[in-house]
Structure formats: structure tokens, C-alpha cells
Amino acid sequence: MLSITLGKLKLLESGSLTAEENAARLLEKILREDMSLGAFIETFGSDALEEARAVDAARRNGAVGRMAGLGVSIKNSVAVAGRRLTCGSRMLEDYRAPFEATAVSRLRAAGGVLLGSTNIDEFCSGSDCSRSAICKTVNPVDHSRVPGGSSGGAAAATAAGLCDVALAEDTGGSIRCPASFCGVAGFKPTYGAVSRYGVVDMAMSFDQLGPIAPDVFGCALMLSAIAGEDAKDVTTAGAPAVDFTRGLDSLPKGIRVALPKQFFVGCDAGVEKLVRKAVAKLEAHGAVVEEVDFPIVSYALPIYYLLVFSEFASAMQKFDGLKYGFKANVDSNDLIDAVSEARRQAFGTEAKRRILLGTFITTKEHREAWYSKTLKARSLLKAEFARLFKEFDVVAGPTMPMVAWQCGEKSQDPLQMYLADVLTVPANCAGLPAGSVPCGSVGGLPVGVQLMAAWGSDALALKAMAAVES
Amino acid sequence: MAVITDAELARLAETSRLKLSASEAEAFRRDLNELLDYFSRINEVESRGEELYYVKEMTAAPRKDEPAESREAAALRSKFTREKDGFMMAPKSL
């Protein structure tokens, strides 16, 4: 069976569907359905159609990229030149990007047609897309449920068929969580695999761009377009630009898969059953699966959050309501007073909470006990992962310990929201590639299985995902 | 364990450049104490490792020392509140 993405590509390649027709249909569908879904912050209308016509013209001349004619959405923390770059925050509500992210330029170069930008939790600070100051996104599978976050708009748009593929970003699960909740595939590449130039940072040592698509092929296709070195982002030094779709359906025989038992602690029973069934599929592909004890992973959540608070507080310092973005109407001659008032007005509660926590952890008196200690624990976690990957090729488990929760269920309880990320943050702490693939549903709500691989083994992680998907 | 007092929260808010109302301050003080209490689990981890700021070592070679046009300067300048003759104007602050 052709994957959805491959099927669409074949239609476009054969000429039975032009890029313009595809873009027009998707834009029309967005107009019709997004009122109730809230996945998009802005659509690019006539610009998208113009881009699509240029792709059609290029095809007539015989030279098009691999993604030619596919409709792409962009997470709204990634710069599209001249377009709104809100980050889901009042702070940047009317801000327009003065330049373009490298990944976006590469998607255009591959023939992707940019349809619009998708909703996110404010500065990516959330796991259910409820913290956007711009609009509310719901889960297309069940509108009373959250789509997951922070890339909730990207996953909802993909699951509802409002775009062919979505560019998203993952700091602690922001691609994989909504992919799992909405029933689509999502992939967070190795840290440094994709340029972050033009991405508004939330926590710079964790942030990574990646794809959300209806299927693993779509993820591999988009990753092939955006990955590789970029002189504008030092973290990409040495990053390979390869075709991740090659050999996607040929999982090497005899790979060793670890199933850490800690991944199932507190996991919903229905989710666990489906995930174990999905992992058994790897065995059918000749993999050897072994349950392992991996205690350090239980500490990934505190490691992740304590460092994210610190990096977040630092990243938010540039928003002062003076230079650009939100302008407060403050009647004060005192600079500190004016800045503090602007930040009070423009930041949401979770952003403020993270700024306060990050400031606390990094103050001189508390640095040693909190920040320094956590940085050391992070190196231990990275080393333990390296040791695990000496014995195993892939680490598997659930993406999320539960299915999508009800809208509003966790909005008032920060700790409960953080705890939901327990299975996705380990990959970010160690910079490892990790993806989520749908593996069934519980009570009609999608469940995702997560597959992680060693540093730089993005191709293998994608192959394992494809094996589970098949 | 870490107990954030009203005075400490006020200092944090000032350092963070955040004005907080009395009710906000009370809610944040409660949240912060609860969260730090949970995250103090970090103390159970052996701290024998190095401080790891980045998971990847940056090994990029410097680019060639050649003059080039500054990127997107005009577009960036257009984002500031007011601009005149290549100077950015910010609100009076002293």
C-alpha cells in the first residue's frame, strides 16, 4: 500500500494533480474546517497559490525538488520572511519576521508550497497547545480533547489533512507528543541535524526542528530536505545531508531493541498493551527485543525542566517591550519599571513561572545546588545512554503515558503538565533522534510508540518507525 | 528544602523584570515551592559528572576573514520602534 505522502507525490508527479490544484484544495479545506480546529495562526493564501504555480512551471521545465507541490505548514516559532512570527505570545503578536529560517528556505527549494503557520503553546511552553495567546487548537479526532503540544497546530493540521506535511520543533517532546495524540508520525532528529537559524529559541541546548507527517515516509522526505550543515548555525557543523527515504523499508536484520521497564511506570494499561504489540512487530522484522533496567531515565524529567527553566529565563530577556514586539503603554520614566510592566502585560502565566524558576536556579546562591548539579546529572544521563547504545541499536517505549486529555484538564496544574513529558524528554536531554508512530487507539484516541536511536543514527530510527508502521 | 519566601519572590520578580500583583505573587510562590520540592529529586543523582551545557561539541572552523554585506540589516532595522539616519531610537530611559 502506498503511504499517504507517497500517494500524493505520485499524483503530483504524474500531472493528475497540479501543485496549484493541491494548494487550492488545501487552502479551501483550511477555510472550511479550521474555524473549529484552530490549527492555523495565519494562512498564506495568494502567495501559496503563486508559489504552487511556480512549482508547476518548474515541473513543465523538468526541474523540481523532491517535495514539489506538497502543501507545507510551518510552526509559528519558525521565521517565514514577512509573515507573523507570534510564538503564540502577546509579546510577538504583531511581529513580522524580517528574514527566513534556513529550514523554511530549504523546504521552498525542495518545492514545498507554504500554506500557513500553525499554533503553538506560548514560546513552546506547554504540552497541550492550551497556552497560546493567539487561538485555541483542538484535537481533530475528538474536539473536546487537546491536540498535544507544543506543536499542536502542526499535528492537528496534518491529522485533519489541512496540510501534506508540517515543519515543527521539539524541545522536550513538542513534535512527538502532538503526533502521538493526533495519530500522525513525528520525528525529532539528532541535536544539530537541522539548522535552527530563524527559529525563536525556547531552550537553546534542546531545541530541534523536525517533521510531522501522516506517515514515516513523509517525515523522512521532509528531513532529507531540511537536514545538513548551515553556516548560520554552528550546531549543524558536520551534519550530514542524506536521503532518509532510501532503504526506509529495510530494517537491518537482527537489530537489538531495548525496552526500559521504567518507561511503563505510571503508563496507562491500554497504551502499554498497544506499545508492546507494536514493538513485537519489530521482532517480526528480525529484531531482538529485550526488557532492560535503565534507572537514570527516571531523572530525565527534573534534569530537563531545571535546565529548560534556566535557558528559558535567559532566552526571554530580549523581550523588553522597548526594542521590538509588544509595546506597553507605560507612563514611567524608570526603565526597570517600564520593562517590568511590559513583561507583566505580555507574558502568559507559564512563561512567567518558567522565568521566575530559571532566575531562581541560576542566582549566585542557588547555582551550585540546582543549576550546576543538574548540568552534572545531564552528563551522567548522556553517558548512560551512550552505554545503553553500545548494547542496543534502538530504544522503544510509549511516546506518551496516556491518550489526549480533555481540554482544560491540566491547564491549572503545572506539575501534572510537566509529568506528561516524562517519556519524551530523555531524548532531548541527550540530543538523540526519536520519533513517534501511531500504533492503535484506546477508546477511539490515538496512541503512539516511540523509537529512539543512538546519536546520529536518525536513519535507523526512521527505519524502525517504518517497520512498526507497516 | 528550598522555601521561597515572599521576600525572595519579590527579589526574583525584580531580577526577572516582572511586575506581579499580590495575588499573582502568592500563586507563584506556592507553585514554585511545590515544583522545586518535586524537582529536588535531582539530589538523588550522583553528581560526579562534568557540567554539560551542550550535548554536542562545537567544532566549527572559523570562516574566511573576508568582508561581506551584513545580512538583512535593513530588514532588522525596520523592526525597531523608530529609526533615523541609521540610528535606532528607543524610549527615554534615564
pLDDT tens readout for residues B31-87: 999 999 999 999 999 877 889 988 887 766 677 888 887 767 777 777 776 777 778
CA distance B13 to B25: 9
What per-residue confidence (pLDDT) applies to A51? 98
- Chain B residues with CB under 8 Å of A347 CB are 18
What per-residue confidence (pLDDT) applies to B60? 65
Q: Is A3 a catalytic residue?
A: no
Q: Chain B: nearest CA to A98, how far in angstroms?
A: 5
ipTM of the complex: 0.91
> Which of A152, A149, A170 is closest to A428 using CA atoms?
A170
- Chain A residues with CB under 8 Å of B35 CB are 357, 414-415, 418
Closest chain B residue to the Cα of A82, Cα to Cα: B75
CA distance A453 to A467: 14
- Can you list the domains of chain A with their CATH numbers? 4-236 (3.90.1300.10)
What per-residue confidence (pLDDT) applies to B86? 75
To which H or E segment does residue A342 belong? helix A335-346
Backbone angles phi, psi at A370, to 5 degrees: -115, -65
What per-residue confidence (pLDDT) applies to A158? 98
CA distance A71 to A48: 9
Q: Exactly one of A3, A8, A73, A75 is catalytic; name it.
A: A75
Closest chain B residue to the Cα of A355, Cα to Cα: B16
The pTM assigned to this predicted structure is: 0.95
Closest Cβ–Cβ partner in A95, A353, A377 for B42: A377
Residuewise pLDDT in 10s, chain A (470 residues): 579 999 999 999 999 999 999 999 999 999 999 999 999 999 999 999 999 999 999 999 988 999 999 999 999 999 999 999 999 999 999 999 999 999 999 999 999 999 999 999 999 999 999 999 999 999 999 999 999 999 999 999 999 999 999 999 999 999 999 999 999 999 999 999 999 999 999 999 999 999 999 999 999 999 999 999 999 999 998 898 999 999 999 999 999 999 999 999 999 999 999 999 999 999 999 999 999 999 999 999 999 999 999 999 999 999 998 878 898 877 777 888 889 999 999 999 999 999 999 999 999 999 999 999 999 999 999 999 999 999 999 999 999 999 999 999 998 899 999 999 999 999 999 999 999 999 999 999 999 999 999 999 999 999 999 999 98
What per-residue confidence (pLDDT) applies to B2? 60
DSSP state of A213: E
B64 touches A at CB < 8 Å: no
Contact B14 A366 (CB under 8 A): no
| Cis omega (within 30 of 0) for bond into A150 | yes
Give yes or no for a contact between A127 and A180, defined as CB atoms under 8 angstroms apart: no
- DSSP secondary structure of A39-91: -EEEE-HHHHHHHHHHHHHHHHTT---TTTT-EEEEETTB--TTSB--TTSGG
What per-residue confidence (pLDDT) applies to A85? 97
CA distance A192 to A236: 5
Q: Which of A359, A432, A455 to mutate to test the interface with B (most CBs of B within 10 A)?
A: A359
**A146 alpha carbon, distance to own chain's centre:** 16
CA distance A327 to B69: 31
Closest Cβ–Cβ partner in B19, B59, B60 for A340: B19
> Which of A169, A153, A170, A137 is closest to A421 using CA atoms?
A170
Strands (E), A372-433: 394-398
CA distance A108 to A113: 7
Q: Is the pLDDT of residue B94 over 60?
A: no
First to last CA, chain B: 41
DSSP state of A399: S
Match 545580512 to its residue by C-alpha cell.
B71
Which residues sit opposite A435 in a β-bridge? A187, A451
CA distance A157 to A160: 5
What is the number of CB-based contacts under 8 A between chain A and chain B?
Answer: 157
CA distance A274 to A468: 11
Helices (H), A285-334: 300-315
